[in-house]
Chains A and B, each alone.
Chain A
Amino acid sequence: MSGGEEVLFWVLAPLMVIAAAGLLVVRRAVHAAVCVVFVMIGLAVLYVAQEAPFLGIVQVVVYTGAVMMLFLFVLMLVGVDAADSLTETIRGQRWIGVLLGLGLAAVLLGVVAQATFPPSVGLEQANAVTNPVALARVLLGEYVVAMEVVGILLVTAALAGLVLTHRRRLGKKPTQRALAEAKVALLPTGRHLTPLPAPGVYAQNNAMDTPALGPDGRPLDHSVPRVLRIRGQQRSATELLTAEETLVERRQGSDDVAPARSDRPEEETR
């Protein structure tokens, strides 16, 4: 280790250990994922520092950029968000976990304690033709058969994933045109061609439960969300309009009240 590398290691290693320990402590799944990402990037930096730039960068691109991102994607979609329940699904799983963890720690400590660190040999020769080229010669030269076998295995697995999640389409896929025609065909049944109108926006009231007014001044019932209508939480527009009309009258005092049509809040607000 040169001076710079040592400094880098002693700065990065404790942070990585903290992040790894954080994985055990944090309660939210996304925080755990962030901790894993930090450890991965720290590992990549250490790889680069140890003259394996290709490995380090590919670690970030493949694992951090793609695999971990997919995990996060699923986490966000599934919404494993609230603190997980602590009920044990397997009897005594906590003790089994502790026991296995201790066993792993013992094995690792044994390996580390017995390891000796002789000066590294052959790094210069291995990297003489630049790291990626040397790696390519090993992978695509000496171990090409193993590489191909692993590649075929991965492709098979990917295909299997596709096949297992594939559903055969029962009918023809509806085209945009067919959908439009179906919509139009439903017109006589009272369906609307356009998106549903937004609920009403009034001078004093702007809420989901008040219907908007149509161009003819009548309230549009379907502008209120269906759930509210079924629950009976819809407010009537007349109530609101009377309230507003009295307000207008109050403001105009005893003057001639403007024709009711122009007081329609619809025209004021749109």
Chain B
Amino acid sequence: MIPGVAADFSADTIVTSIVKAVLVVVFLLTSVLFAIWFERKVVARMQVRPGPNWHGPKGLLQSLADAMKLLLKEDLTVTRADRVTYLLAPMISVFCALLVFAVIPFGPSVTIPFTDYSTPAQLTDFPVATLYVLACASIGVYGIVLGGWSSGSTYPLLGAVRSTAQVISYELAMGLSLVSVFIMAGSMSTSSIVESQTNLWWFLPLAPAFVVYVISMVGETNRLPFDLPEAEGELVSGYMTEYSSMKFAWFFLAEYIAMINVSAVAVTLFLGGWRAPWPLSVIGDGVLNTGWWPVLWFLAKVWLLMFFFVWVRGTLLRLRYDQFMVFGWKVLIPFALGWLVALATFQWLGLAGVTRTQMFVAIAAVALLAAVIVWLLPERKSPDRSPDDGGDGRFDAFAGGYPVPPLPGQSLPPSPRARRTVPPAPPESSGSPADVDAEETR
């Protein structure tokens, strides 16, 4: 038994590990096929259209058809590409994406059917497993960077540079939000963290950290609204512009596996891992937390987060690059740091013997004080933002130098030509008097 790890791997042989590794890879590949179908279908329903519905029942075989198409397409290598790196980049991406699931627990100890051999439903675990996930993610960026650079073209290079900046910045916020889980759980091993959530899932007490994690996980996977590295309108498709056929498919695969990875990490660290949600967990004294049931809960939670990904994609618009960086560095990271300091202070107070009630009273007092101060502060006068009404309520039709319509509540001043509408138009003229006026003024 590995010290500091809740799961017991002592019964595992090398054969067990190989079988588990193969199962993990098979799980990931089939999940990606399903995820692509799922995403297209859900986005389609959100946009009131049917989505893929031609191949197989409900279009389920669509991703398989896409995969075959990518396999059989011509494999182009750009003339200016740096060949070795060009081939290496998608491999790095996929390899790193596949590594993460080695430490994700699908369930507790499970018994193989028809035998009495039981083993944890997890490939491996060690005391720094969560850091290992971060390490895999940070190496995975090399795939994107090298792919963008080796294409020898401008758009991919720009996409790669953006992606580097993005992933490094958001990894900081992500790491900080994970640290608060380490503080509460007292461990960095995934199975121990799941073990520590027996009574309370961490997303409730650590809600701010959970929010930071969810935002940074979307940034980390380059998904809308943070898909700046491959912003179609600006960069064609970013770092993978010059890739085709199977090499492109690898990048695509890596991207979807990365989504599943961050969802699984969120489930393991914040959403109770494989534990059954509350009303189910009390049934029969927790019988639903044993055997093969937990795998079901785990998958359900992961796909709930995947739905969240798709939902966000279907709802939000892409941020501008500078806004995105400002948000990451000036909002997310300081907030995560502040939260971490606060949490560490509470933990320290707890160790020093201060009771929960005292802490809550203190927090309430501070919050009340802050509210009173805010209430007493003079309200800042908002700067005059609308030049339209010129301060005196009059409507200026050329505010800011170009014609503007009146705002609600304002009315157009009477036209100086209003009196000229009185004489009737000559019978041969087809235009109304207003049109004639408009013609004259041109």
Point out residues on A near B: beta carbons under 8 Å. Answer: 28, 30-31, 34, 37, 41, 44, 53-54, 57-58, 60-61, 64-66, 69-70, 72-73, 76-77, 127-133, 177, 181, 184-185, 187
Please give, as numbers and ranges, the residues of chain A lying within 8 Å of B4 by CB-CB distance: 129-133
Q: Are A54 and B128 in contact (CB-based, < 8 A)?
A: yes
What would 24 A/B residue contacts be, using CB atoms closer than 8 Å?
A30-B82, A30-B85, A30-B149, A31-B84, A44-B135, A53-B128, A57-B135, A60-B139, A61-B134, A61-B138, A65-B137, A65-B168, A66-B138, A69-B138, A69-B145, A69-B164, A72-B142, A72-B164, A73-B161, A73-B165, A76-B157, A128-B3, A181-B401, A185-B401
Q: Are B85 and A34 in contact (CB-based, < 8 A)?
A: yes
Q: Which residue of A lies closest to B189 (CB)?
A: A130
| Interface residue from A34, A53, A77, A129 paired with B161 (Cβ < 8 Å) | A77
Q: Tell me how far the C-beta of A134 lies from the nearest C-beta in chain B, rounded to whole angstroms.
A: 10
Q: Are A132 and B128 in contact (CB-based, < 8 A)?
A: yes
For B143-177 the 0/1 string (1 means CB < 8 A from A) is 00110111000000100110011001001000000
Please give, as numbers and ranges, the residues of chain B lying within 8 Å of A44 by CB-CB distance: 135
| Interface residue from B3, B141, B161 paired with A65 (Cβ < 8 Å) | B141
| Interface residue from B3, B135, B401 paired with A127 (Cβ < 8 Å) | B3
Q: Tell me how far the C-beta of B81 lies from the nearest C-beta in chain A, rounded to whole angstroms.
A: 13
Q: Are A57 and B146 in contact (CB-based, < 8 A)?
A: no
Q: Are B142 and A69 in contact (CB-based, < 8 A)?
A: yes
Please give, as numbers and ranges, the residues of chain A lying within 8 Å of B165 by CB-CB distance: 73
Q: Are B138 and A64 in contact (CB-based, < 8 A)?
A: yes
- Listed from nearest, the 8 A-B pairs whose CB atoms lie closest are A65-B138, A130-B4, A60-B135, A130-B127, A57-B131, A61-B135, A130-B3, A53-B128
Q: Are A34 and B88 in contact (CB-based, < 8 A)?
A: yes
Q: Which residue of A lies closest to B164 (CB)?
A: A73
Point out residues on B near A: beta carbons under 8 Å. Answer: 3-4, 82, 84-85, 88, 126-128, 131-132, 134-135, 137-139, 141-142, 145-146, 148-150, 157, 160-161, 164-165, 168, 171, 188, 385, 400-402
Q: Which residue of A lies closest to B142 (CB)?
A: A37
Q: Are B127 and A132 in contact (CB-based, < 8 A)?
A: yes
Q: Are B401 and A131 in contact (CB-based, < 8 A)?
A: no
Q: Select the residue from A54, A57, A60, A127 with max chain B CB neighbours within 10 A.
A: A57
Q: Which residue of A lies closest to B5 (CB)?
A: A130
CA distance A53 to B128 in the complex (A): 7
Q: Which residue of B lies closest to A65 (CB)?
A: B138
Q: Are B142 and A131 in contact (CB-based, < 8 A)?
A: no
Dominant SS at the A interface? helix
Q: Are B127 and A131 in contact (CB-based, < 8 A)?
A: yes
Knowing A30-B146, A69-B164, A181-B400, say if A131 contacts B139 (CB, 8 Å).
Answer: no
Q: Are B131 and A69 in contact (CB-based, < 8 A)?
A: no
Q: Which residue of A lies closest to B138 (CB)?
A: A65
Q: Select the residue from A64, A65, A77, A181 with max chain B CB neighbours within 10 A.
A: A65
Dominant SS at the B interface? helix
Q: Are A76 and B138 in contact (CB-based, < 8 A)?
A: no
CA distance A130 to B84 in the complex (A): 41
Knowing A73-B164, A127-B3, A185-B401, say if A57 contacts B132 (CB, 8 Å).
Answer: yes
Q: Which residue of A lies closest to B150 (CB)?
A: A30
Q: Tell me how far the C-beta of B65 lies from the nearest C-beta in chain A, rounded to whole angstroms.
A: 32
Q: Are B157 and A53 in contact (CB-based, < 8 A)?
A: no
Please give, as numbers and ranges, the residues of chain A lying within 8 Å of B3 by CB-CB distance: 127-130
Q: Are A76 and B127 in contact (CB-based, < 8 A)?
A: no
Please give, as numbers and ranges, the residues of chain B lying within 8 Å of A70 by CB-CB distance: 168
Q: Are A31 and B135 in contact (CB-based, < 8 A)?
A: no
Q: Tell me how far the C-beta of A189 lies from the nearest C-beta in chain B, rounded to whole angstroms.
A: 11
Please give, as numbers and ranges, the residues of chain B lying within 8 Å of A177 by CB-CB distance: 385
Q: Are A54 and B127 in contact (CB-based, < 8 A)?
A: yes
Q: Tell me how far the C-beta of A249 lies from the nearest C-beta in chain B, rounded to whole angstroms.
A: 36
Knowing A54-B127, A66-B168, say if A76 contacts B161 (CB, 8 Å).
Answer: yes
Q: Are B402 and A184 in contact (CB-based, < 8 A)?
A: yes
Q: Tell me how far the C-beta of B116 lies from the nearest C-beta in chain A, rounded to whole angstroms.
A: 28
Please give, as numbers and ranges, the residues of chain B lying within 8 Å of A131 by CB-CB distance: 4, 127-128
Q: Tell me how far the C-beta of B107 lies from the nearest C-beta in chain A, rounded to whole angstroms.
A: 23
Q: Are A72 and B402 in contact (CB-based, < 8 A)?
A: no
Q: Are B131 and A54 in contact (CB-based, < 8 A)?
A: yes
Knowing A66-B168, A128-B3, say if A34 contacts B134 (CB, 8 Å).
Answer: no
Please give, as numbers and ranges, the residues of chain B lying within 8 Å of A66 by CB-CB distance: 138, 168
CA distance A129 to B35 in the complex (A): 41
CA distance A131 to B4 in the complex (A): 9
Q: Tell me how far the C-beta of A81 lies from the nearest C-beta in chain B, rounded to whole angstroms.
A: 9
| Contacts A76-B157, A131-B128, A185-B401 supplied; 17 other A-B pairs, CB < 8 Å | A57-B135, A61-B131, A65-B138, A65-B141, A65-B168, A69-B142, A69-B168, A70-B168, A72-B142, A72-B164, A73-B145, A73-B165, A76-B148, A130-B3, A132-B188, A133-B4, A187-B402
Please give, as numbers and ranges, the residues of chain A lying within 8 Å of B82 by CB-CB distance: 28, 30
Q: Which residue of A lies closest to B134 (CB)?
A: A61
CA distance A70 to B164 in the complex (A): 8
Q: Which residue of B lies closest to A66 (CB)?
A: B168
CA distance A41 to B131 in the complex (A): 15
Please give, as numbers and ranges, the residues of chain A lying within 8 Å of B134 by CB-CB distance: 57, 61, 65
Q: Select the residue from A61, A73, A76 with max chain B CB neighbours within 10 A.
A: A61
Please give, as numbers and ranges, the residues of chain A lying within 8 Å of B157 by CB-CB distance: 76
| Interface residue from A28, A57, A187 paired with B128 (Cβ < 8 Å) | A57
Knowing A34-B146, A53-B127, A58-B131, say if A184 contacts B138 (CB, 8 Å).
Answer: no
Please give, as numbers and ranges, the residues of chain A lying within 8 Å of B149 by CB-CB distance: 30, 76
CA distance A210 to B188 in the complex (A): 62
Please give, as numbers and ranges, the residues of chain B lying within 8 Å of A53 by CB-CB distance: 126-128
Q: Are B127 and A69 in contact (CB-based, < 8 A)?
A: no
| Interface residue from B138, B148, B161 paired with A60 (Cβ < 8 Å) | B138
CA distance A53 to B2 in the complex (A): 12
Q: Tell me how far the C-beta of A105 lies from the nearest C-beta in chain B, rounded to whole angstroms.
A: 29
CA distance A60 to B138 in the complex (A): 8
Q: Tell me how far the C-beta of B353 lies from the nearest C-beta in chain A, rounded to whole angstroms.
A: 21
Q: Tell me how far the C-beta of B390 lies from the nearest C-beta in chain A, rounded to whole angstroms.
A: 15
CA distance A58 to B82 in the complex (A): 31
Please give, as numbers and ranges, the residues of chain A lying within 8 Å of B85 by CB-CB distance: 30-31, 34
CA distance A130 to B127 in the complex (A): 7
Q: Tell me how far the C-beta of B132 lies from the nearest C-beta in chain A, rounded to whole angstroms.
A: 5
Q: Are A69 and B161 in contact (CB-based, < 8 A)?
A: no
CA distance A37 to B85 in the complex (A): 13
Q: Tell me how far the C-beta of B318 lies from the nearest C-beta in chain A, rounded to whole angstroms.
A: 16
Q: Are B139 and A187 in contact (CB-based, < 8 A)?
A: no
